[in-house]
Amino acid sequence: MNNSISRYLLSGMTITALVCMGARLPGQSASSDQTTAQTTPASGGAAKAPPVVENPNPLTRKLTYGQERQRRKATREELKGYYKKWLNEDVRWIITPEEENAFKNLSNDEERDAFIEAFWQRRNPNPDSNDNEFRDEYYARIQYANEHFAAGEPGWMTDRGHIYIAWGKPDSIDSHPSGGTYERPVDEGGGETSTYPFEVWHYRYLAGVGDNIDVEFVDTCMCGEYHATINRAEKDALLHVPGAGLTQYEQMGMAQKKDRFTGGGLEQLGTGPMSSSQQGKEFDRLDTFSKLFAPPPIQFTDLDQFLTSSKVLNGPPFLFDVRTDYVKVTNSTVMVPVTLQIRNGDITYNTKEGDSVGLVNILGRVSTITHRIMYTFEDTVKVETPSDLLERTKNNVSVYWNAIPLPPGRYKLEIAIKDVNNPDHLGIWRRSIDVPEYDDDLLASSSLILASSMERVPSKDIGTGSFVIGNTKVIPRVPPTVTAPVIFHRNQNLNFWMQVYNLGIGQNKRNDATIEYQILDLATNKQILDTQESTDKLNPNADQLTLEKTMPLASLEPGKYQLTIKVNDGILKQHIAQSAPFNIE
């Protein structure tokens, strides 16, 4: 949707303001100090000296109106880096005007951090939980939009991405990806015509918008760039062709096609059996459209309490392995999937009625180098097996996954686990993690993940659930140390997953890059695999690609290998490479 139109539609809307936090905002002046006077005591009948007025403290005195305006302007100009990207990219489609103004008027990063935390908590459907389902789903929507709706610009910036991020997945989609012959419904005038590619998204209910909402997107440039439209006639490829694509009344000689452009309405549907009833609904459509592109209403009230951190457990070692990966969501937010792997034989089991059950409590937290906690998570892993098979499964492993949204920077990740059936059996893992920053002008990629299994998820589970990245469930292999290779067996498949970001888009709105896959035998330094494919065969209009491949290992001898993926961008003249070692036993 055109930005100027969007601003015009939203300018008349009134949205209830919410108090974002209890701290004093910069616009509220501190109490001014009272001026004090000193007098010299009378001596020998001399006249009293005139009072001496001290200069007021410029840091505490009340500012004039002009000074206050300058201070506010300077404060707004300080908004940059992560906070600017968070405001302009991360929450662009859901932040209310009142929240945006309040955020811009905050005076320091501490207040901004508190605001961001309160922002997500106001939308948390379960405030008592350490997890924020709304925030996690929101960033999953951004990731899905970037994967599926990119068209010469990131998917989150498109109209389809906007609607998907703000309102979620539609209940149904009527898709016409190739356009072609189209039989108009009666409320569009009837008759047959040809159309550009278009989609109609249907929502049964949207809070603050209404019931049975249809959103129409049209690709008039035939380049994958779908935009939202109020005018249902815009998808008509024959709209401006005289004598073609006529409505029922036009075919019967009861109307002329030129009459479609003389009414001055929002749509050029032409006269038809239901045209009179449709004319009265134009303002309703305009109102619905403005609500769709306004920030969704906040469904949850402000909270006085924020998430609290728990003390990390200490005790005898309970060994486990951890893997961290990095997946771009926006320029200011990176999803950090954390995978824990626990050997089943290290868990204490409670056996009852032929079943053995082990429980492991997990506590994790991410903090900055200044010890400010950014994220916490708590969960319980349950391992259950028939008691007669317990001995045979002790070398199996159990994995746990949690995806953490973080801005670029350096953090400390701490994880503690506790064996519920043996409370003195504890384990702790601490590492620093460097969350990368993705520059718009540089070709980049996510982590290269070697996975135990990889499969597409049902449409209803896209972007949600453990191990789900976008529309794929990826269960990573976890090495014993950061630099150690992961281990596969010859009867297994080598699954690998990686995303590529910021591909160059040419004037024809297509990318032009080559993906090369190589597997090297580290013992002989011999290439076992060397193949390549072009991005225009994968997703030609996108600046972001997801690479998902599965390769059987039966033909490879046991040994040490290395997988390398190279990306050469013909438009940007840039290249990147990611490598990951693995062993076959």
CA atoms of 578 and 68, how far apart (whole Å): 52
What structural domains and CATH numbers belong to the chain? 309-438 (2.60.40.10), 440-585 (2.60.40.2550)
Helix (H) or strand (E) holding 159: helix 159-167
CA atoms of 352 and 286, how far apart (whole Å): 64
Do the beta carbons of residue 493 and residue 551 sit within 8 Å? yes
- Residues 6+ positions from 360 with CB-CB distance below 8 Å: 342, 347, 380, 381, 383, 398, 417, 418, 419, 420
CA atoms of 499 and 133, how far apart (whole Å): 24
What b-and-e string marks burial along 517-552, b requiring 16 or more CB atoms within 10 Å of the CB? bbbbbeeeeeebeeeeeebeeebbbbbbbbbbbeee
CA atoms of 557 and 526, how far apart (whole Å): 13
CA atoms of 8 and 65, how far apart (whole Å): 30
Q: For residue 153, what are its two tokens? A: 């610009």
Strands 513-521 and 526-534: antiparallel
List C-alpha distances in Å: 38 to 50, 56, 560.
Answer: 9, 14, 86
Reported as a single tens digit per residue, the pLDDT across 487-522 is 999 999 999 999 999 999 998 889 999 999 999 999
Beta bridge partners of 335: 327, 405
CA atoms of 245 and 236, how far apart (whole Å): 8
Q: Which residue has the tokens 């405001």?
A: 87
Interhelix angle 97-104/109-122, rounded to 10 degrees, is 160
CA atoms of 389 and 355, how far apart (whole Å): 9
How big is the chain by its Cα radius of gyration, in Å? 30
pTM beyond 0.85, yes or no: no
Do the beta carbons of residue 465 and residue 457 sit within 8 Å? yes
Closest CA to 307 of 370, 380, 364: 364
Q: For residue 42, what are its two tokens? A: 């009378």
Q: For residue 3, what are its two tokens? A: 């930005």
CA atoms of 483 and 579, how far apart (whole Å): 12
Amino acid at 479: P
CA angle 321, 313, 374 (to 5 degrees): 80
CA atoms of 205 and 159, how far apart (whole Å): 19
Q: For residue 292, what are its two tokens? A: 């769709």
Residue 367: predicted pLDDT: 87
Residue 18's φ and ψ, nearest 5 degrees, are -115, 140
Amino acid at 514: T
Look at the alpha carbons of 412, 413, 419, 420 in this order and tell me if their dihedral is positive or negative: positive
Residues lower than pLDDT 50 in the chain:
1-46, 53, 300-315
Residue 194: predicted pLDDT: 93
List C-alpha distances in Å: 347 to 354, 358, 419.
Answer: 17, 6, 6
Q: For residue 242, what are its two tokens? A: 């005289």
Do the beta carbons of residue 259 and residue 272 sit within 8 Å? no
Reported as a single tens digit per residue, the pLDDT across 182-233 is 998 887 888 899 999 999 999 988 888 888 899 999 999 998 899 999 888 8
A 10 A CB-CB count for 374 gives: 17
Helix (H) or strand (E) holding 181: strand 180-183
Residue 2: predicted pLDDT: 43
Residue 270: predicted pLDDT: 74
